[in-house]
Amino acid sequence: MIERIVDFFGDERHAIRRRRLFYLVLVLIVVADFLVSREHAEYLWERLPGWSAVYGFGSCVLLIFVSKFLGHQGGLMRREDYYD
């Protein structure tokens, strides 16, 4: 059972089904975000349906590129023998 689930996420044979499932989940989450009740929302953005999807995607992209920029242009990444 566990092996089959792991295999589903690893094997190339399931790539198309995996992709479809993934997009379906994304759509379902956004749709669900429009349906839930938001009585306790304290901040403006919490009242916007779909905000979390945008913020999650934006955070991810920002983190990848800011970090890589710091690593390459900021000089944080060095050859492995730097301290030797």
Partner 1 sequence: MTDFVHPALLFILGAVPIPFLKGTIRRVYLVLIPLLAIFAVLAMPPGSYGAATFIGQGILIAKVDRLSIVFATVFTIMALIGVVYALHLTRAGQHVAAFVYVGSALGVVFAGDYLTLYLFWEGMAFASAYLVFAQGGEKATRAAFRYLMVHVTGGVALLGGILVHGAAAGSLLFGPIEGGPMDGGMGAGAYLILAGFLLNAAVPPLNAWLTDTYPEATVTGAVFMSAFTTKTAVYVLARAFPGTELLVWLGTVMALYGVVYAVLENDSRRLLAYHIVSQVGYMVAGVGIGTEMAVNGATSHAFAHILYKGLLFMGAGAVIHVTGRRKLTELGGLYRTMPLTVALYMVGAFAISAFPFFSGFVTKSMVVAAAGHDHRALVMLALTMASSGTFLHTGLKLPYYMFFGTDRKLEAREPPRNMLVAMGMAAALCIAIGVFPGPLYALLPYPVDFEPYTGAHVTESLGILMFTALGFVIFLRALDPENTISLDTDWFYRKGARGFMWLAEKPLARYEKAVSDVSETAVLPFLHGSARAGLRLDLNGVDGVVNGVARSILTGGGALRRLQTGVVTHYALAMIAGVIAAIVVFAVVWR
Phi and psi (nearest 5°) for 78? -130, 165
| Rounded-to-integer distance, Cα 70 and Cα 61, Å | 14
- Give the CA angle between residues 13, 17, 19 to the nearest 5°: 110
27-66: which residues touch partner 1 (CB under 8 A)? Answer: 29-30, 32-33, 35-38, 40-43, 46, 50-57, 59-66
Dihedral (CA of 8, 10, 15, 19) sign: positive
* Residue 78 binds partner 1, judged by CB under 8 A: yes
Closest CB 79 distance from partner 1, rounded Å? 7
Residues in contact with partner 1 by the rule CB under 8 A: 2-3, 5-7, 9-10, 22, 25-26, 29-30, 32-33, 35-38, 40-43, 46, 50-57, 59-68, 70-71, 75-80, 82-83
